[in-house]
Amino acid sequence: MNKTSLMIMVSAFMLMLFTSIVNSKDAGHGHDYRTFHTNGNIGYGEIKDSYTADLVMYLAGNQFMVMEELIKDFQNKNKNIKSIYVETIPPGQILKKQLLAQGEINGVKTSMTPDLYASVKINHLKKLNKKGLLDTHIIYTHNKLELMVAKGNPKEIKGAADLARADIVQSHPNPLTEGIFKFYGSEMLKDLKIHDQVTGGKKCKQCWAVPGKTWFTARHHRETPHRIENGEADVGIVWTTEVAHAKAGGRNIDGVEIKSPLNKQDKVAYAIGIMNKARNTANAESFLKYLGTTKAQEIYQSYGFVAASKDELKIRTF
């Protein structure tokens, strides 16, 4: 390979990397920071509300699609709670960069003491408990893995084993801050004995793990459908609820089922607890009680989530 050809290849790769990063920023990340008001207004990106709202919740991002309907119903039943700040981003990122350290969103400091924290991995809550930051929790819903593909499944992907194919470009949650991959997707790939082939053995965020073949997102629930619709990826590991939401919204997306037990449906449980330094403890207690109602569970189920049992909805101490 001569010097000119090498320079062209390097330039092409850098352009592809830059385009991937820019497009990920245009995928709607700002809508993961919302303030819901009783008059029906929704504020976007008002990070300062994390210090002042009547209820502040930092939640695992993959339930973003549920929030508007859920919060509206909750506020209709609790009209005294006039403003609710809801953050829906990867729970590992919340834990490390906002609860255990002072965080910033778009250059604005965010509160280290929300009223409620929720994750798809109960060990996140256990870490907070060991540091004296959280004592109790409930399990309030369940989910499972699915493959997201373009509408009509043009690559004819049949299941998780096809992630070993060399002719597809993949977009997966990153293994550093996104629990869906860190705890479940990576385990599935290891079960299939294709983990290193798919990931190149890399652990990074918003990067090409395998150049031109496997992209690790910063926030998969925004980026992966965006990348697939724009022809930048053929397939991605997501939650089944995210496929259902995309299709319901008329996006050019389809899903490919992952068979049990590879879909991890028996392991994925959403845990939520009140932070010990919460400003609005009574409002947080009201929300936990609400999550146990038939209406709240029905709302989650309407988006493809699996209902929690009555026993799981009981408040437990660590």
Residues 89 and 148 in one domain: no
- Residue 265 domain flag: no
Q: Is residue 180 part of a domain?
A: yes
- The mean-pLDDT minimum among 1-5, 66-70, 185-189, 224-228 falls in 1-5
83, part of any domain: yes
Asked whether residue 51 falls in the same domain as residue 106, the answer is yes
CA 157, chain centre distance (Å)? 23
Q: Are residues 125 and 182 in the same domain?
A: no
Mean pLDDT of the 121-129 span: 96
Non-local (6+) Cβ contacts of 41 within 8 A are none
Residue 263 in any domain: the answer is no
| More confidently predicted of 251 and 12 | 251
d(CA 294, CA 287): 13
Say if residue 253 is in the same domain as residue 177: yes
**Residue 24: inside a domain:** no
- 79 in helix, strand or coil? coil
Whether 193 and 224 map to the same domain: the answer is: yes
Q: What DSSP string describes 186-251?
A: HHHHHHTT-HHHHHTT---SSEEEETTTEEEPSSHHHHHHHHHHTTS-SEEEEEHHHHHHHHHTT-
The verdict on residue 91 lying in a domain is yes
DSSP 53-72: SSEEEEEEGGGGGGHHHHHH
Examine the domain organization and report whether 61 and 123 are in the same domain.
yes
Contacts of range 39-45, beta carbons closer than 8 Å, 24 or more positions apart: 40/72, 42/68, 45/105, 45/106
Residue 116 lies in a domain: yes
Of the three residues 257, 287, 306, the one that is the final residue of a domain is: 257
Q: Do residues 230 and 177 both lie within one domain?
A: yes
Could you give the CA distance from residue 23 to residue 111 in angstroms, rounded to a whole number? Answer: 28
CA 177 to chain centre: 10
Asked if 228 and 123 sit in the same domain, the reply is no
- For residues 17 and 150, the model is more confident at 150
Secondary-structure breakdown of the chain: helix, strand, coil percentages, each rounded to the nearest 5: 40, 25, 35
Contacts 24+ apart (CB under 8 A), 281-288: 281/115, 283/54, 283/55, 283/78, 283/81, 283/115, 284/55, 284/115, 284/116, 286/78, 286/81, 287/55, 287/57, 287/74, 287/116, 288/116, 288/138, 288/315
What digits encode the pLDDT tens for the residues 144-178? 999 999 999 999 999 999 999 999 999 999 999 89
Residues 306 and 242 in one domain: no
Answer yes or no: is 7 within a domain: no
Would you state the pLDDT for residue 311? 97
Do 44 and 67 fall within a single domain?
yes
Residue with tokens 């919340």: 94
- 239 and 308 co-located in one domain: no
Does residue 90 have a cis bond before it (omega within 30 degrees)?
no
**Residue-number span of the structural domain to which 191 is assigned:** 144-257
Domain tally, the chain: 2
Task: Kindly tell me if the per-residue pLDDT of 4 is higher than 60.
Answer: no
- In terms of domains, do 187 and 233 share one? yes
- How far is the C-alpha of 285 from the C-alpha of 292, rounded, in Å? 11
Average pLDDT over residues 73-87: 98
Interval 47-64: pLDDT, tens: 999 999 999 999 998 899
What CATH number has the domain bearing residue 157?
A: 3.40.190.10
Half-sphere exposure of 286 (CA within 13 A, CB side): 18
Query: Which of 211 and 19 is assigned the larger pLDDT?
Result: 211
